[in-house]
Amino acid sequence: MITFEQHNQIQHCVIRCIALAQDYFKRQLTTPTLQFNQRGNVAGTAHLQKNLIKLNSTLLADNFDEFLLTVIPHEVAHIVAYQIYDRVKPHGLEWQAIMQNIFKLPATVRHKMDTTKTQGKMFNYKCHCSQVKLTLRRHNKVVRKEQRYSCRKCQQILVEVA
């Protein structure tokens, strides 16, 4: 769980990023709303049409400084790219330019935070060449016969290990 102080720091970081972008583009931008209900292994997501950034509170609590330094600017860059350029590739040239030229950060796509606390139960499946793990969601789809998954290497249908 994040503290009131951390929430304020995150909000101020978003406002600072928006201000930097406004100065750069010489244009008024709308500050996005924040939610702390992102699930899974994802640090954050930008919902462009809703002008909303969802953050993973579990990862945030364990990696607060990393969020301030990289995750918040990353997600704000998506919001800025949408407000300035409208529909562009999520990590395309416009987004990369915002990260590098405005926020002075490398345009990295994936975080390297420990996600062991956010990972759900995994289920073992196998094929001819290896064993793989499926998430609870994928496992349930297999059980309900809604989906079949195949190995990327040998193309055989995966079967649950008993």
Higher pLDDT, 112 or 10: 10
Burial per residue of 143-157, b for 16 or more beta-carbon CB atoms within 10 angstroms, e otherwise:
eeeeeebebeeeeee
Give the span between the Cα atoms of 115 and 86, in whole angstroms. 32
Known catalytic residue at 146:
no
pLDDT at 114 over 90: no
Query: What share of the chain has pLDDT > 70, as a percent?
Result: 100
Q: How much is the mean pLDDT over the chain?
A: 95
* 125 contacts 160 by C-beta, under 8 angstroms: yes
Among residues 75, 94, 146, 160, which one is catalytic?
75
Nearest-5° angle of CA 78, CA 2, CA 108? 30
Q: Specify the CATH architecture of the domain 4-102.
A: 2-Layer Sandwich (3.30)
Q: Positive or negative CA dihedral for 48, 2, 69, 44?
A: negative
- Tell me the pLDDT tens digit for each residue of 51-105: 999 999 999 999 999 999 999 999 999 999 999 999 999 999 999 999 999 999 9
Q: Where are the domains of the chain?
A: 4-102, 122-160
